[in-house]
Chain A
């Protein structure tokens, strides 16, 4: 490739790679949704041109979307109380809160920030249009679907120099069968402003359908954002989460994604580092069980010099679960002195579990430091035997190895209460009785 080459993902698809049967399914979904809600034309116009994802589209090679072709119905339940769920999933958390149930804003359950220099409101109350051109909405079918049909979400503005005094929790809850829970969050953080965000997704046992959440974030120079993302959805929900992060010079954004449970989850993170001296951190862990599926696709686009990005994704796959990790890092010709780090570690806990892992580095600048590592292995049998020979039970020995494996990522949650609750939920789900106790005293 020549040094001036544009990264592949930036290319508009000249000849759309269309699979006719899948395309028809997508079109049927679009017309069904169009019958139920109004659509936004600027994004909707891309829906018919873009290929509906299928196995021969590179970004969807290992990610089956057939679970999305369902008959969606209008949700009945629209409040967290009616859904029988806690408004705040994190005990003891002192935070602002915005709650959405089946894509509807629940004012009663919310506790919006009242803070000078901060504007936080449901998207439906603002008149924001959507700019699809040049964004993911014009390149990715499911993102275009979001752009066309997301009628609700959060609109947040943190003005220049303002530091929000408490974390802001965004709670998405899905209830009931076949809901189409499509939401978009628009976040703008001005110069030197700071905010800690938590995105927490839950669903009832009998929930099914689609969750499609787009988070678009503009961070101006010197802005600092931490986003703790937790996915803990029971039921049979298919969860798509897109993040589009645009960073100006000297800004810092860290996103930690913890996937505790979910039948089908795809996280699609896209960072653009547009000014000098940006810092991006994206970490995650996933511990699927049963037949669950978790996909983390990440793109970090270094467009300016002197930026750093650091990425660590750790997965432990149990039973017959499967996972995908794809980490793209682009370093454009002007992005000299880039420092990019990527690590992806996977443990297959059984011989039925699978992972497809692919780091993709494309580097067009010459004075850069980029490193990446990818491992796929099993639990260390020697370590397990050593622990058992000391009288530690096999399950507990494994729990210790799990904690050692994802410990760094857990530590990285910005909000301490989030970390503790995540650890508690993991321990409960996996039956690690003494896990919390052990790490408390570490």
Chain B
């Protein structure tokens, strides 16, 4: 699905990702954990095509395509999705128009006609129920005045609408209470399939009780320093990150 090789990225003169390697196969769920500032969001942004970063080395192969050569719109239309750590508010643009443009963008890419109004509304209804997104929120401006939990559910709603092949969830669990966490996790689990892969970025093990990963990686200072199965997340939860940092520097 996605193969990241020796990826290096910097902001200005500051290197953030320092030769990162990661391969995710179809159907797999990978988790990335790591201390604050280790570069998790940077990885997510670089994959989604944010232009603030300089890619100084490495490659990313997305099902045979050179991901780094594509712009953000193309990446999304080709089936990559990023659930933002901090979803953006867009006053004056209704959630529903926003999603219709997104869905039609993807359809255009696939050589399909724009979706019919009625089909679109049915799709919205179906996907919104997946994350129990209130009908009111669909007509409001994108994320404007949404609570933290509503914003995160809206991200998963958008993901469900766009049915990506590969989704990156950047700290979708942060700021959620246990009910919201369960709703979000259920939404993600409902979308798991042998053809779809996920990269779940989180700071806490808690989310991984609900979205059980096939692999867990630990990112420290722009590099994956350790990989394992879900047990690794539990060990982290108990012992914190210090032992890894010592391990790595030793």
Which positions in A face B, CB cutoff 8 Å?
A: 380, 382-383, 385-394, 396, 400-401, 403-405, 407, 434, 438-439, 441-442
Contacts and interface: CB of A to CB of B under 8 A. Distances in A.
B47 to A, nearest CB: 10
B121 to A, nearest CB: 10
A283 to B, nearest CB: 16
B109 A382 contact: no
B94 A391 contact: no
Given A383-B90, A400-B98, A403-B92, A389 B48 contact: yes
Given A383-B90, A400-B98, A404-B93, A388 B76 contact: yes
B101 A438 contact: yes
B27 interface: no
Given A438-B100, A438-B101, A394 B92 contact: no
A442 B98 CA distance: 10
A441 B117 contact: yes
B10 interface: no
Interface in B73-104: 73, 75-77, 81-82, 84, 87-94, 96-102, 104
Interface in B43-77: 48-51, 71-73, 75-77
A441 B48 contact: no
A405 B104 contact: no
A158 to B, nearest CB: 36
Nearest to A395: B73
A407 B92 contact: yes
Nearest to B104: A434
B71 A386 contact: no
12 contacts: A385-B72, A388-B71, A389-B75, A390-B98, A391-B77, A391-B106, A401-B90, A403-B93, A405-B92, A434-B104, A439-B97, A441-B97
Contacts of A405: 92
Contacts of A386: 84, 87-88, 90, 142
> What are the 4 A-B residue pairs with the smallest beta carbon separation, nearest first?
A404-B92, A391-B76, A390-B102, A386-B88
A387 B87 CA distance: 11
B144 to A, nearest CB: 10
Nearest to A404: B92
B162 interface: yes
Contact of B90 (A396, A404, A441): A404
B73 A392 contact: yes
B105 interface: yes
B197 interface: no
B94 A442 contact: yes
Which of A380, A386, A393, A405 neighbours the largest number of chain B CB atoms within 10 Å of its CB?
Answer: A386
Which bracket fits the contact residues of B?
35 or more
A400 B82 CA distance: 21
Contacts of B50: 385
A195 B99 CA distance: 40
Contacts of B82: 389
B13 to A, nearest CB: 21
A441 B100 contact: yes
Given A386-B88, A391-B109, A403-B92, A396 B101 contact: yes
Contacts of A439: 97
A386 B84 CA distance: 8
Nearest to B82: A389
A86 B76 CA distance: 44
Contacts of B71: 388, 394
A401 to B, nearest CB: 7
Given A386-B88, A390-B162, 18 more contacts: A380-B90, A383-B90, A386-B142, A388-B71, A389-B48, A389-B75, A390-B76, A390-B99, A391-B73, A391-B105, A391-B106, A400-B98, A401-B92, A404-B90, A404-B141, A438-B100, A439-B97, A442-B97
Contacts of A400: 90, 93, 97-98, 101
B202 interface: no
Contacts of B87: 386
B211 to A, nearest CB: 21
A35 B64 CA distance: 77
A392 B101 contact: yes
B84 A390 contact: no
